[in-house]
Amino acid sequence: MATNKKHDKNRELDLFITDLNGNLRGKRMPASGLEKVRKEGLKLPRSVVGFDFWGADVLDNGLVFETGDSDGICMPVSEEPIPVPWSEAPRDQMLAMMFNPDGTPFEADPRQVLKRMVDRFAEKGLTPVMATELEFYLMDAESERTQRPTPPALTEGKGRRLANTEGYSVEEMDGFEAFFADVREACQVQGIGADTIIAEMGPGQFEVNLNHVADPLNAGDQAILFKRLVRGVSRRHGYAATFMAKPYVEESGNGFHVHFSLLDCDGNNVFDDGTEQGSDLLRHAIAGLMQSMPESMLMFAPHLNSYRRFMPGAHAPTHASWGYENRTVALRVPESPHQARRIEHRVAGADANPYLVLAAVLAGALHGMENELEPDAPVEGDAYAEENPRYPLPCEWQDAIKRFDQSERLRGYLSDEFVRVYAQAKRQERSRLSERISDIEYEAYLGLL
């Protein structure tokens, strides 16, 4: 029997923001705390946004001791709490956005970074329409304990066997029917527009496409809630799930593709001018995205592991390129009816923070449109075979951190504060990861040197 949520004294509410890495940080409170939070917000130290991946302070980012580790105010971004149907206990959740105590936006908060870009488009009378596609691997639940990914066993359909590597296999989806039924239901109750589900190339790899929305903040919120939902529903079904960019070296990586078009005040798609090629604005946006791609790479590929995904032939791009109906390029312009003329941005991994990916896409496009840049000719055929590309992408984390930190353009679009705080977090993570001597170093050197 449905309980009246307001009077359920056991009901709880999670209120959270995402840190730079997209990890959720916030508090769990009795549902009765909602009214206070709506009025006053929830206090969290601003340094929490700038945490490194392990939740440690980044002492060089200017947010910790210099400020007395002072609080920011997190205000909920939705009117109503969103149910958490996979939770054992009765629980709702709300995403929030952080402000400084004086009411100004806290510019390092990833959702504020995206909002800043959405506002820039609004000033021009333009509304971005965005849709996201998230790939992930389902794994055996043991993977979380052993910290090695193991494909899940197919327990439904044809009896128990390990999940296969079969792109677009319907049987593969049948094997996880109950899991996907719960994913779809959870999406419905959370207002997430889940469209198609696809079995991808890797063992236990799937993709879910979320419907386009004429509100990038909403598209970002949905992607964040979707990632939590997949992990939660997986656990209920005895699986684990990962959005890590490249969990298996020899298998397909997890991408986060973004479809993007722009509406004017009358609701017309400005990337369409009735021609087969699309409008001048489409070309300018593509040129800006290509030129800013090397320095934005850290937002598309934020982790050490992210760079393993960009391999020739893996359907993830190796340089900034574009083309019509071409899946080997970074920016694909899909074959579509004119009113749906759009760019599919194929660079980001599913491990990236969705808000930051969408913000970087908007910044790149705006840069091209404001400067009326022209792209080189579109690539026909295999982009991996292109020699001397004009905009090679950083293929290592260290290089991407440097390019990002040195970008005056990104500071202009996304704010100095964000660029400083993000670069410092990534530097700290890199130094922590490089301190550990890896297994393969011992295997190779210990007995021989």
Ligand X SMILES: NC(=O)CC[C@H](N)C(=O)O
Footprint of ligand X (CB under 6 A): 135, 207, 252-253, 255, 309, 315-316, 327
What's the residue count for the chain? 449
Report the residue number, 72 or 349, with the smaller CB distance to ligand X.
349
| Least distance (Å) between residue 304 CB and ligand X | 16
In the bound complex, which residue of the shown chain has the CB atom lying closest to ligand X? 255
| Least distance (Å) between residue 233 CB and ligand X | 21
| Least distance (Å) between residue 206 CB and ligand X | 11
CB-CB contact of 306 with 296 (8 Å): no
